[in-house]
Structure 1
Amino acid sequence: MTRFAIALAMLTFGSLSSLAASKDAVSYVNPLIGTQRSAIGYGGTMPFVTTPFGMTDWTPQTRQNKISVVSYNYDDTTISGFIGTHQPAIWMGDYGYVTVIPQVGELRTTPESHKLPYNHASETARPDYYRVSLDAGADGKIDAEMTATERCSIFRFTFPTSAEARVIIEASRPGIAGMASANPEAREITGYNPHRMDAHLGPFALPNFKGYFVVQFQQAPVDMKTYGMDDAKAESSRGAYAEFKPGQTIQVRVGTSFISIEQARANLQREIPEWNFQSVQQNLRAAWNDKLSRLQLSGATDENRTLLYTAIYHALLYPRAFSEYGHYYSAFDDTIHAGESYTAYSIWDTFRAENSMLTLLAPERIDGMITALLQNFKEGGWMPKWPNPSYTNIMIATHADSLVAEAFRKGFHGFDQQVAWQAVYKDAMTPPDGDTTRRWLDREEHTPYEARAGLTYYTQLGYIPTDKTDEASSRTLEDSYDDWCVAQIAKALGRTKDYRFFLKRSLNDRNLYNPALGLMNGKTSDGKWAPIGGGRDDNENRSVSGWTEGDAWVYTWSPLHDQAGLIQLMGGAENYDAKLDQHFSGGHNVHNNEPSHHYGYLYDFGGQPWKTQAMVRKIAAKEYDASPGGLDGDDDCGQMSAWLLFTAMGFYPVNPASGEYMIGSPMYAQLSLTLANGNTFRVEASNNSAENVYIQSASLNGNPLDIPVITWEQIQAGSTLHFVMGPKPSEWGSKWRPSLISVN
């Protein structure tokens, strides 16, 4: 073995210090991945400086963010400031944000007027640190640096000697009744921003909602004033600024809160008690290294490492913390409570793989995250679909049921199980207000909480009719999966009658199978087949065909719990696999949207696992790379990244609440994952390469493994999963079939 090979082998099982002589795990993360639109796609990500699950994320602002526009885009050429944002995804809005703007020369307070050119050559972007040089024209350059804690940040601005220096704090935007006040003696600017961009999507007005901030300066300003957003001479206090003598390095620290200005100040004192930029940055780097270094791999290039460590970074951003040292503001009853809270669950996306990844990478957070959903239930009446930070009614079904079921299945006990049952039972049994008088349109404004829209029809007909409820076909199939999840929770709690009831109802997905087409097909209320629809962008999809961001091809295999039933409906595994062949060859697999994420793994169910092995490698190579444009589709709070992580490891949670993972094709020679229980799970792939994607044989802890499935318990035991890879398909795993659901 060469010295290089020995070094690679040591990487697999080593500690953080063995990652590389000169590089730690953070060094491989590139937060710019996903920030540029490219031939691959557009990830809609931002280069956040924040902690894992940080309450407030800090990013350079190249454009004014809004729903469908994020603050940073790689192709922009100017930066207008540095925003403390809570926007979790491109198609969601921001709330309670605050912007810090360095400036020289005359006072300019509109977003367009304080833009400064920059180039990527001067830019350093890491999870723990961001630096850029801003071109102030004839006045010189402003060097800007920032690092952060969970709720706070610290900036270091080095100003040119040619002009008076200024730091502007933008509390809000035109039309938003924010507030800023200046206290020169304390070197402090305080204020709040009540803006919620998604306020029109939910049922609640929140008169008490505000994002509070406290901004402190290390150096003494020569002047400090408030200003009006559109007129620098106005008396309004939409923002404030501090001015300094030229040529100084000014340190600025910012505390944020959703409770009060006093709490923002307390958060700042607790998280950044001293003016020590380097110490804050080192602590943040250590926090990320602790998480990132739990994954070790060999047989990987630096580009490979960047892909995987950046995927971990993206996966560990959400859900975000929403409590502040024992208390939290509830956006469900507009009051302050004692306890721990989280928000920004993109559940329709993340229940598939992101949440399952968190059970491996951050299991210490799972009980708190489930508890937060249950608190939302107690305070607002339902567990949310997409809290940002309140109800938004975005997407369909009640997949919080899946998160709760997965927590039960994997042995998490730090939440109230009886309240959990009440919450999922209400999801499954209580129609939303006005269920039969509304169509429940996508992003319909100011509606009651949507819950399982169409549930009235679902319980009466066994499906949701397309002529009564929008997205009815997709709702039927996804509600069936959620029924299966509720059944598993009932079983765990010894509620046998409820278990059998929901297990039987979870087979409602079969009511939409059209044997003449070999596809799922919506139905109208008179039992007739609805038009099949023509694709994700077909205008008929939602109102006539009943699909959500997809079509019949995308949704036919969507019942994650009932692939055995689908095999039976299609007339056997051979037909099932042939239909999957048509799905992929016909271009129906759209990886940049979540309903297709498990499709590459489905050949495991039909007895052709070699096709899964080839397909998931193909998707990974096509949809991801280590460039700014290397992420196809919105990352959706880590789901796109979690898919890549699982695929790299060689397995994927097709049914995340089952505790089972379907085996694909491991992407690296050796990979290990340090678990929270102290064990290490290892994946070894002899002869692995870009050509050798096919599993020839497999073993678990030295014993033959003949099925394409591993379990949560096997991973947690610290097992070694060993594959022998080759360039041609083999029969390995082909005899396994999933069990048909029995309701008897």
Structure 2
Amino acid sequence: MTFNAGIQGPEGAPTANSFTGLESVDNTAYQISAEGEALQRTPLASLDRIVGSHDTLRYAVFPVFDSDAEAGYGFEATAVGIDLLFDDGSWLSQLQVCDEAGYGIEPNVQYESKVLSLNQWNDKRIELTAAEGKKVVEADIVCWRSRRSSTMPHGWISDVSIEPGRELSDNPVELIDIRRGTNSSLSFSRGNCAPAVTVPHGFNFGIPITDADDLSWAYKYHADNRDDNLTPLQALAISHTATNWGSERNVLHVMPTPDAASGHCGRGERALGFRHRDEQARPYYYGVRLERHVHAEMTSTDHVVAMRFSMPAGGGLILDQFDSRGSLAFDVENPRFQISGYNESKFGDNPTVPRMFFAISCDRKIASVKSGVIADRENVSAVVTFDTSEPVVLRIATSFISLDQALHSLALEMPEDMTFDDVVERSKKLWEDKLSLVAIDGANDERRISFASSMYRMFMYPNNAAENAGSNETPEWVYADVSDPRDWDHSDVHTGCDLRNGLSYVNNGFWDTYRTIWPAYCLFEPKAAARLLDGFVDHYRASGWIDRWCAPGPTGGMVGSSADIVIANAMISGVDLLDAQSSYDASLRDATTVSNRMQVGRFDNGHAIFRGYASTSTEEGMSWSLEDYLNDFGIAQASQWLFAHADANDPRRDEYRSNASYFRNRAMAYPRLFNKDVGFFMGRNDDGDFRSLPQEFDPRIWGYDYTETNAWGMAFSVPYDGNGLASLYGGPDGLEKKLDAYFSTPETAKFVGSYRRVIHEMVEARDIRMGMFGLSNQPAHHIAYMYAFTAAPYKTQAIVREAVRRLFLGSSIGQGYPGDEDNGEMSAWYVFSSIGLYPLTPASGEMLITSPSVPRSTIAFPNGVKTTIQAHDWSEENVYIQSVQVNGKAWDSLRMPIDVIREGVTIDVHLGPEPSSWGTTSDSPAYSQAYSPLYSLTRRGTSPLVVCDLTDPKDATDNASTSLESSHRESAMPKDSESQSLAASAFDDCFDGGLSLNPSDWVSYEFTERRSVGLYTVSLGKAPIARGSHAEEGAQLGFGWVLEVSDDGSDWRVIDEQNDPSYRWEEQTRAFMIAEPEAATYVRFRVTGHARLDLRQLEYFEG
């Protein structure tokens, strides 16, 4: 950022237009002098106005970050504000008024509160009720010198005004601003959202476009502005974006033009300017009044986007697509539809994007069509005029199945007798129903807007991908399956994709969403959660895999097979899954098999299953490991749940019990990646050594082992075993100190590590100014809540209250979030944190209680039950919980079971300005479960139990033996291991290779001392398998084994026998629990039955 007092406005800002203010063209620069008084006043303007009732002082301020300042500083330009002088000689600052976040307006208070964001415009609003009747004569820029800086802190002020205050509706839907999060860019995010008009979980989005050449940041709140600071509209569009980071697809553009004969059809030349005050941006309706007397509007059903345009005489519509991968045809005399085509536009080379077919019906007769009006897109562009100057309504229906299906959806959802305004009202009602699930009372304007807008984002995703081939009364859902992408043979009017019956949902990144938004669906709308989740499980039923990132098919991305913990959380949260077996098997497929597709499954499963971690040979292998430990915890919980609910004769009952133990062991492997010499988690190399030597390690460095963060950001990534994590840091006091250090060590955005450049997450975390707390990104979202495992849970309360108060401002100017809002996840964090309940440990069946950021909230469950959270003595200063009652009875525990919340209870939270011991003691009986400790696999005061394989690859050459000759080996022995025994390949922690065992063949292992094997795993390659998630159990496949033990290697005792065990997939690892373990020196795996066994690995665990 450069500064020049002669330049009006910032230059090169990541989200702002250069050389202008927020709305106006003119600006005023300010500098904070290093000399003179600490408080510095500069007259800005002479005024002559009597303050009226509910008037508001509003201005925009752009503080510049000092990149040369030492760590933890550089924010001094935020010590700025506007003060008003009244004709009686008094100042506004003397009246103790507050800004939109409740902070004082004095520049030192603004600085100390950290409420102003750097290198971007801030929209400041100060209510003037306390000054009603006073006459304003002058407005001053007021600055405060906080410390000497390497340069003079500086910035810009613009758009200073005194105006009537906002009068907000009582209807939460009217508070939503879909532009929230759009004041973003590649290098800095305040949400990175698309301003979508849609229905909840809608098939289509309708969005306004300010840059039609950009598939990622198509609507920029300010950065695309022209020199006159008007925002250009280049189109209204059909959109299917899942995220700004490369998922947009199947985009159609429609742009009104006041002069259809001009030939100005290119994206830049057809653009019309507008001011944001001339937009109405609600989820059910978008309208904008453009220059040259043009008005453009949108609304939406599920599969139909309706657009209405008002233009002067001579106007028309420009039809366009993002690129030339499409078609456009006209049949102007057709009474059902006049325009049709298909579209395959997409970001990059996403192989899962299907062909989209569209049909457009116009309510006015088309007068003329001129096709091929845009170079390089002649086949998809045209100008259309109409024989009237009345408003024109387009009904645009889309389908991924066929043109006929698009027309069928049009007839179902917006028949000819349904008007544009009818659709507006129907869509509005759908959003009102969703927002009624959680209501808040007593919050200030900013918080009401943020809360309502967050609820919108929560239910905007995931998106329906199915289409109704039946009727509204008897729907028949069908969808084009893209779960197993290939080269589809589409026609001009019909898809080449396979068609499947049922519902499908798309557009979800489970790594982003598992922390908060899926727990929100499960808590607030359990039946809907079951439907949504099954829409992803159907991808597993279709292709054998569930997505990690779905847009609209499996696109890979991020780390961890996080759908596993989502499925488990749904089970444990009491969601009645539509297909629990397939849901469970989808998780097992992720966790127990080797994927041959990078877009699905887990990386490095061919080694990680046996080593207990993905090594540094896998990019971000440590992050994969920590995420999948959590996923394994989820599978353990799901297994235990299924075992507890299984019938006594259920053929999978023993499998559930074995898996519960096995996956719990896997989840408890996280201490193996904790390097006690440096006090952080760290990746291990293939040989087991840590990546870095202690003297080379710096936890501030980003990347390498750590996905989108550094070692600090993953120092607390074990929410399912907080007590065990605490023991790694020396106990609860040690965990508290580690958290304190995390929140006090400044992020500088200078240690770029393996990223080799500054990425937006670094800058956002720095600008939050809460140490390393990168609330701007998902890995940090649980960290403030980890104080629950210390003696200081009150620190959670203060941190979360501050974050909610100041990091979600700016909704009125396209901000509203501290970083990326991914598929509703950050919105759900805000909603949970606002009402004072947080899902710290997915799949635990409980929430954590914290200090509410709103005085009162009500959860209205679909079954009519209501739970109310009442915060007594609520104020911005009273952030600490003093006591809690549930239905009038004392509740001293931090945990709140989900089944209690669903009972319909009143939770009274009493607040005060000082910390208390609440949540640290459990002395008074009330609800029997109120005093259970917060969920953790490890008991408080003990260390995590790491259960390791009793075999060791390093010893296997000496300790393993087999009945086979070398000619029976399935694959060649590695060249560098000629001396390795044949049997050792069954214990080398590698899925490749292995042994081909015929009936009666065996592999044995000698322990160095007597051991009791209670659980073992058998990994098979291409053995006979029971295919599919509903394969018949107990089928006679002709193979099996016995597990035997011996004290001398001669006399063997059978401790387990398996006949035709069910392996659902090739290259799968299965666990088996031994009913009565026996201590012995030798253990032998001997093949029975009649089939050859492709054995890859054996593992033995203590019983």
Question: Is TM more than 0.5 here?
Answer: yes
The offset of 1:424, in angstroms, is 1.0
Decide which of 658, 674, 685 is 1:497's aligned counterpart. 658
1:458-477 equivalence runs, <5 A: 458-466=608-616, 468-477=617-626
- The amino acid across from 1:308 in the alignment is F
| Correspondence 1:659 to 2:842 | no
| Correspondence 1:98 to 2:252 | yes
- The amino acid across from 1:547 in the alignment is Y
Asked if the contact 1:68/1:91 (under 8 Å) is kept, the reply is yes
The offset of 1:100, in angstroms, is 1.5
CA deviations on 1:671-697 (whole Å, 9 max, x unpaired) are 111011210011011101100000000
- The amino acid across from 1:109 in the alignment is C
Asked if the contact 1:172/1:195 (under 8 Å) is kept, the reply is yes
Decide which of 406, 409, 419 is 1:276's aligned counterpart. 419
The offset of 1:249, in angstroms, is 1.3
| Correspondence 1:61 to 2:209 | yes
| Correspondence 1:518 to 2:679 | yes
Query: In the alignment, which residue of structure 1 is the partner of 2:1006?
Result: none
Query: In the alignment, which residue of structure 2 is the partner of 1:589?
Result: 773
The offset of 1:536, in angstroms, is 7.9
Asked if the contact 1:172/1:178 (under 8 Å) is kept, the reply is no
Decide which of 716, 723, 730 is 2:916's aligned counterpart. 730
| Correspondence 1:219 to 2:219 | no
How many angstroms apart in 2 are the aligned matches of 1:713 and 1:632?
32
The offset of 1:72, in angstroms, is 4.2
CA deviations on 1:672-726 (whole Å, 9 max, x unpaired) are 1101121001101110110000000011111111111101101111111111100
Asked if the contact 1:159/1:246 (under 8 Å) is kept, the reply is no
Q: TM-score, normalised by structure 2?
A: 0.61
Query: In the alignment, which residue of structure 1 is the partner of 2:707?
Result: 548
Query: In the alignment, which residue of structure 2 is the partner of 1:12?
Result: none
The offset of 1:168, in angstroms, is 2.4
Distance change >3 Å, CA 218–CA 666, structure 1 → 2: same
The offset of 1:533, in angstroms, is 6.2
2:907 is paired with a residue whose SS is strand
Q: TM-score, normalised by structure 1?
A: 0.89
Distance change >3 Å, CA 534–CA 246, structure 1 → 2: farther
1:361-380 equivalence runs, <5 A: 361-380=524-543
1:613 is paired with a residue whose SS is helix
Decide which of 234, 255, 261 is 2:403's aligned counterpart. 261
How many angstroms apart in 2 are the aligned matches of 1:363 and 1:116?
45
Decide which of 222, 243, 255 is 2:385's aligned counterpart. 243
1:48-447 equivalence runs, <5 A: 48-64=196-212, 66=214, 68-76=216-224, 77-105=231-259, 106-135=262-291, 140-161=292-313, 164-173=314-323, 176-186=324-334, 188-197=338-347, 199-200=349-350, 204=351, 209-227=354-372, 229-230=374-375, 236-245=378-387, 247-273=389-415, 274-325=417-468, 326-333=477-484, 334-433=497-596
CA deviations on 1:71-92 (whole Å, 9 max, x unpaired) are 4434431001101101121113
Asked if the contact 1:66/1:197 (under 8 Å) is kept, the reply is no
2:328 is paired with a residue whose SS is strand
- The amino acid across from 1:190 in the alignment is S
How many angstroms apart in 1 are the aligned matches of 2:641 and 2:706?
33
- The amino acid across from 1:36 in the alignment is N
Query: In the alignment, which residue of structure 2 is the partner of 1:36?
Result: 183
How many angstroms apart in 2 are the aligned matches of 1:37 and 1:95?
20
1:548 is paired with a residue whose SS is strand
How many angstroms apart in 2 are the aligned matches of 1:343 and 1:718?
32
Decide which of 798, 811, 831 is 1:645's aligned counterpart. 831
Asked if the contact 2:178/2:281 (under 8 Å) is kept, the reply is yes
Query: In the alignment, which residue of structure 1 is the partner of 2:794?
Result: 610
How many angstroms apart in 2 are the aligned matches of 1:362 and 1:227?
48
Asked if the contact 1:168/1:240 (under 8 Å) is kept, the reply is yes
Higher mean displacement: 292-301 or 675-684: 292-301
Asked if the contact 2:216/2:248 (under 8 Å) is kept, the reply is no
How many angstroms apart in 1 are the aligned matches of 2:168 and 2:730?
57
Decide which of 854, 859, 879 is 1:673's aligned counterpart. 859
How many angstroms apart in 1 are the aligned matches of 2:170 and 2:670?
50
2:720 is paired with a residue whose SS is coil
The offset of 1:22, in angstroms, is 5.7
The offset of 1:740, in angstroms, is 3.6
Distance change >3 Å, CA 560–CA 66, structure 1 → 2: farther
- The amino acid across from 1:676 in the alignment is P
Instruction: Flag the structure with more relative contact order, 1 or 2, with Cα contacts below 8 A and sequence separation at least 6.
Output: 1
CA deviations on 1:345-381 (whole Å, 9 max, x unpaired) are 1211110001111223433322222222222112233
Asked if the contact 2:785/2:796 (under 8 Å) is kept, the reply is yes
- The amino acid across from 2:868 in the alignment is R
Distance change >3 Å, CA 229–CA 144, structure 1 → 2: same
2:549 is paired with a residue whose SS is coil
How many angstroms apart in 2 are the aligned matches of 1:40 and 1:706?
42
Distance change >3 Å, CA 191–CA 384, structure 1 → 2: same
Distance change >3 Å, CA 738–CA 247, structure 1 → 2: closer
Asked if the contact 2:519/2:570 (under 8 Å) is kept, the reply is no
- Please list every run of 5 or more consecutive structure 2 residues that lacks an aligned counterpart in the other structure: 1-166, 225-230, 469-476, 485-496, 644-655, 746-770, 922-932, 939-944, 948-1102
How many angstroms apart in 2 are the aligned matches of 1:537 and 1:84?
41
How many angstroms apart in 2 are the aligned matches of 1:644 and 1:461?
38
The offset of 1:630, in angstroms, is 2.1
- The amino acid across from 1:332 in the alignment is S
Higher mean displacement: 144-153 or 525-534: 525-534
- The amino acid across from 1:417 in the alignment is A
- The amino acid across from 2:634 in the alignment is C
- The amino acid across from 2:173 in the alignment is V
RMSD between superposed Cα atoms in Å: 2.2
Identity of aligned residues (%): 30
How many angstroms apart in 2 are the aligned matches of 1:183 and 1:168?
17
Higher mean displacement: 79-88 or 243-252: 243-252
The offset of 1:21, in angstroms, is 11
Asked if the contact 1:147/1:277 (under 8 Å) is kept, the reply is yes
1:222 is paired with a residue whose SS is strand
How many angstroms apart in 1 are the aligned matches of 2:553 and 2:638?
26
Asked if the contact 1:55/1:322 (under 8 Å) is kept, the reply is yes
| Structure with the largest fraction of helix | 1
| Correspondence 1:575 to 2:734 | yes
Asked if the contact 2:437/2:862 (under 8 Å) is kept, the reply is no
How many angstroms apart in 1 are the aligned matches of 2:430 and 2:303?
14
Distance change >3 Å, CA 557–CA 269, structure 1 → 2: same
Asked if the contact 2:364/2:388 (under 8 Å) is kept, the reply is no
Asked if the contact 1:684/1:721 (under 8 Å) is kept, the reply is yes
The offset of 1:198, in angstroms, is 5.1
1:493 is paired with a residue whose SS is helix
- The amino acid across from 2:422 in the alignment is S
How many angstroms apart in 2 are the aligned matches of 1:198 and 1:658?
39
- The amino acid across from 1:213 in the alignment is F
2:619 is paired with a residue whose SS is coil
Aligned residues: 690
Asked if the contact 2:329/2:339 (under 8 Å) is kept, the reply is yes
* Structure number with larger C-alpha Rg: 2
The offset of 1:247, in angstroms, is 3.0
How many angstroms apart in 2 are the aligned matches of 1:362 and 1:198?
36
Asked if the contact 1:84/1:98 (under 8 Å) is kept, the reply is yes
Asked if the contact 1:41/1:630 (under 8 Å) is kept, the reply is no
- Please list every run of 5 or more consecutive structure 1 residues that lacks an aligned counterpart in the other structure: 1-19, 434-446
1:656 is paired with a residue whose SS is coil
Higher mean displacement: 266-275 or 469-478: 266-275
